[in-house]
Chains A and B, each alone.
With several copies, the nearest count.
Chain A
Amino acid sequence: MPNLETAFLNKTFSNPTVLSSGILGVYGSSLVRVAIEGAGAVTSKSISLNYRSGHPNPIIVEFEAGLINAVGLSTHGIDDSISEISYAVKNSPSPVIASVFADNVENFALVSQRINEANPDFIEVNISCPNVESEFGKPFATDPKTSAAVTSAVKKVSKAPVIVKLSPNVPNIKLIAKSVVDAGADAICAINTVGPGMVIDIESAKPILSNKVGGVSGPAIKPVAVRCVYDIFSEVDVPIIGVGGVTNGSDAIEMIFAGATAVGIGSAVHYRGIGVFKKVSKEIFRFMDTHDYSSIEEMRGLAHE
């Protein structure tokens, strides 16, 4: 009988599926619901120190091959966020990952410090939001040095193990992976959205998103995500949460073969409903059963052989 249990750092997930940051993860209650509905772990929407209203609507638009979003990192501020995460940590049957972001290294440390109060199982450092520029003039995740600086600042203060979330929009993701692992990252999450992209309404001749551009997710980005996970696995020796376009069991297996320890699911919540975690787990189980794999561990990174 195949076993879906997935050891991830100091925890064991009941299955390798993980709710990705920014999907249904604003409130603790949603995180708990997704955990109950079958996610092996759940990630909160990225939290910052101060309230940010985000962009006006539309903030998401669907295209033929995925979604494009520019939610604009709207957050309710650190105090509200702490209470939401606390609620999730107390009530979720699955481990809770608190995602944080900030506009400079110091604030990354501050928000991570504060989030300790909520006792999340892991902290995920979102250095890869395509719409936020660092104090150094480009997204943190595009530069190995800034990526490392953020990582070590968070690592210094965080009580929970630190996952760093990378962007695919870089010439060489191996470089970034190496730099954050050298700086102390316990795990890597890859990838954040691709692009950015733009969808223009041809009737009004206007970009649809109020922010004009947004990050691309869903089936469109799966090959890029799989390649990134493959690259990172070949470069560093920490567990990887593979995210990007995973919609069914086959996609999840592809990620695991590429080197993922756990598999993030975001846009597929839209395509297959909140039950997608249970469905994907069943599909993974069935594949393992018919292909004589007994553990997720055993399948990890097989595409490298």
Chain B
Amino acid sequence: MNEGAQNSGRLNKPITLPIVKVVDEAKDFKSFYFDFDLDAKPGQFVTVWIPGVNEKPFAVSGQKDGLFSVTVSAVGPFTNKMHELKEGDKVGVKGPYGTHYKISGPDCDGTGAEHKNLVLVAGGYGVAPLVFLAEEAVGKGVQTTMIAGTRTKELLAFREKLESIGVEYLAATDDGSEGFHGFVTDVLENQISQGKASEICACGPRPMLERVGAIAEKHNLPGQFGLESYMKCGFGICGECAVDYKGIHICKDGPVFPLATAMKIFRFKKENDNFSQDNTDDKSEKEVF
């Protein structure tokens, strides 16, 4: 849990940006591109404000040549409204916010061992930040596999883009309409058993993340997990996004956590917990001056 850092110079006030491109990635799943030098890292998010409607968080799904994108699944009032927007329409953007996935090149420590096989596990729109991450990983020469799961074929996205940059793309659908018939976790276990996984980065629905986490723990693999939570302010002040017994705030302490922290969050049952019995390493002592 990192101590909330000082906020950066930019005001937490939306910057209005026109949408410069809209791309259909899959059924009810669209990317919106903005002409703005965002300086985000994979896993970080922005908030998108549609005046008169609402403001919601979305992962940055790509950043290149002075453009950045978010990729939005239409699931409710706000995201449906977003899907109605066209090139030239303007929205307010704040961010980038939050922690990010940290990867380094394969030879960064001289051993050649790190990130030999980076496996990205995506559920639903969780693929968005992982596409951005895949591009960064490939750029650093890391061999990367994307395991993407959705209910059905039409919801799968980014296969072409990922394959074109050399990412191995493995799909899993609930109905078997494409790729593996079953869960991403089955594909993951298979990769691991073939020795083709040295680290896992995952993003998707909570139940999927919990199962992926359990697998990573079992095989003693390092992992980084992108979590979600209901958010209001998005920058660490309102307290709405706290998730666990330690008062971790997803918007600022997250959304990306290392495996160990993520597992603690998953296992947290507030009712049965007694904070004073906690003895994890990051417990600060109250200092009296």
Which residues of A are at the interface with B, using a C-beta cutoff of 8 A?
Answer: 2, 4-5, 14-15, 22-38, 45, 54, 56-64, 67, 69, 71, 74, 83, 87, 90-91, 93-94, 199, 201, 203-204, 206, 208, 210, 267, 269-275, 278, 281-282, 285
Which residues from B are CB-within-8-Å of A14?
Answer: 286, 288
Which residues from B are CB-within-8-Å of A201?
Answer: 13-14, 16, 51, 92
Which residues from B are CB-within-8-Å of A63?
Answer: 11, 13
Is A27 a contact of B239 with CB atoms below 8 Å? yes
CA gap between A40 and B54 in the complex, in Å = 36
Residues of chain B at interface, number, CB under 8 A: 45
Is A275 a contact of B3 with CB atoms below 8 Å? yes
Is B239 a contact of A87 with CB atoms below 8 Å? no
> Does B207 interact with chain A (Cβ within 8 Å)?
no
B3-31 at interface with A (beta carbon < 8 Å): 3-7, 11-14, 16
Which residues from A are CB-within-8-Å of B51?
Answer: 201, 204, 206, 208
Contact stretch, chosen from B192-200, B243-251, B255-263: B243-251
Is B92 a contact of A27 with CB atoms below 8 Å? no
Is B275 a contact of A30 with CB atoms below 8 Å? no
> Does B235 interact with chain A (Cβ within 8 Å)?
yes
> Does B280 interact with chain A (Cβ within 8 Å)?
no
* Residue from the list B11, B54, B92, B239 in contact with A25, Cβ < 8 A: B239
Which residues from B are CB-within-8-Å of A30?
Answer: 239, 242, 247, 249
The list of the 6 closest CB pairs from A to B, nearest first, reads A33-B247, A273-B4, A203-B16, A91-B275, A57-B55, A30-B247
Is B283 a contact of A36 with CB atoms below 8 Å? yes
Is A59 a contact of B287 with CB atoms below 8 Å? no
Is B240 a contact of A26 with CB atoms below 8 Å? yes
Is B238 a contact of A271 with CB atoms below 8 Å? no
CA gap between A255 and B236 in the complex, in Å = 25
Closest to A94 in B: B286
Q: A57-B47, A270-B237 are in contact. List 13 more A-B contacts (CB 8 A).
A: A26-B239, A26-B242, A32-B247, A57-B49, A57-B55, A60-B233, A62-B12, A201-B13, A201-B16, A203-B16, A208-B49, A272-B6, A278-B287
CB distance from A229 to the nearest CB of B (A): 19
CB distance from B31 to the nearest CB of A (A): 22
Which residues from A are CB-within-8-Å of B284?
Answer: 36-37
Is B235 a contact of A270 with CB atoms below 8 Å? yes
